Amino acid sequence: MSLSLPEAPHGAAPETAPVAPGAATALLESYRPAGDRFLATPHRTLLGRGTAAEIPHTPAPPAERVREALARLRRPGAPAPVVMGALPFAPDAPAALAVPDTVRWAPPLREDPLIALPVPEDPDRPAWRVREVPEAARYGAAVAGAVARMRAGEFAKVVLARTLELTSPREPDLPAMLRRLARRDPAGYTFAVPTAPGRTLIGASPELLVARQGGRLTANPLAGSTPRSADLAEDVRRAAALLESEKDLHEHAVVVDAVREALAPFCRSLDVPARPTLVRTATMWHLSTTVAGDLADPATTALDLASALHPTPAVCGTPTEVARAVIAESEPFDRGAYTGVVGWQDADGDGEWVVTIRCAEAEGRTLRLFAGAGVVAASTPEAETAETAAKFRTFLDAVGASL
């Protein structure tokens, strides 16, 4: 099936998005790692091709650099140009943001009936060699050490991560991997963007950091999780227990309070529900709060808001600088783009920025998978190790590997 989809120069959005069945899956099928940037959200699907301009790495804040670059590319009477890409976890590390030569737009994958079709099995999937970094026992020891320090009053929360390094005899099929991730959770945020020459960030995140549409913002912090069960009764029991878990409700409240504090200065009004609800992915239940507000200044962009929020306690901890130090001491790897943000923004300031979790970095014959867990004083090494193992399942299932 072949569809002709609107293509606009320098990332400009077409005035009318296509509505033909298969439009979104056509973009998914068209993705190629060399030069493409793909992003699917609950509201739209984007495929950027080529590079019209890269956002330079300078001491200026990313939001300012993006604003200036998009303003230079804007043309009278033409739709607003768009930037796509990712920002890293470390505040001083280079971002991977660019304005594509062209962007093709479609409705969300979840509205495309063809997304229900399975990806054909690859009879020649690579045999993966898996290495844990750090090993589960060392990760558990780091959790125990952090818990002891929290109980001593040093800090309130830290998010500790671990990785799986997967290597194979040949380079992985990234387009097929992306299709499996998208079909596993078409209502989530699926992405594949280059982060360096020969390196691709690919994943399927459940968490919106912040979106801006006109004068309205939306944020959806997730914190507090439990693995899904294949048994329906047990799955429902776990979901209900999560809603009543004192430890998880406390972890979630810490994140929501931080989001409220970061966004309030930008808003005329801000609506923050008193209690969380549940969202689910194929592998996890999460506590979720949808925060909505009206901007006080129409010049505030989506990336201004994302920069004010990043990193939330959901991916770092609190207090932020103390948590960063604990992460640096505890994690024997560089997070890179993991727990950064990935998304898009146009020159009008509208956009969507997503928390970069449930992801991997692909380079050559290697995939590095990331998963983390929020550690608070009530945490146990066994529970947090099990949580990270459950979170790895999203990607392990997509590549046909196991832990």
Side chain identity at residue 26, one-letter code: A
Contact 385, 372 (CB under 8 A): no
Whether 157 is a known active-site residue: answer yes
Closest CA to 286 of 327, 324, 257, 251: 251
Instruction: Supply the DSSP symbol for 274.
Output: S
The catalytic residue among 154, 165, 207, 352 is 207
Check the CA dihedral 355-229-167-175 and report its sign.
negative
Q: Is the peptide bond before 265 cis (omega within 30 degrees of 0)?
A: no
Assigned token pair, 101: 């030569």
> From CA 10, how far away is CA 103, in angstroms rounded?
7
Residues 6+ apart with CB under 8 A from 109: 24, 25, 28, 40, 45, 115, 182, 186, 187, 190
**Is position 207 annotated as part of the catalytic site?**
yes
Long-range CB contact pairs, 67-75, < 8 A, 24+: 67/301, 67/303, 69/99, 70/99, 70/345, 70/346, 70/347, 71/347, 73/10, 73/99, 73/347, 74/347
Candidates 64, 68, 132, 157; catalytic one: 157
- What is the C-alpha separation between 169 and 53, in angstroms, rounded? 35
What is the distance between the alpha carbons of residues 330 and 340, in angstroms, rounded to a whole number?
18
Cβ pair 45, 107 in contact under 8 A: yes
Catalytic residues: 157, 207
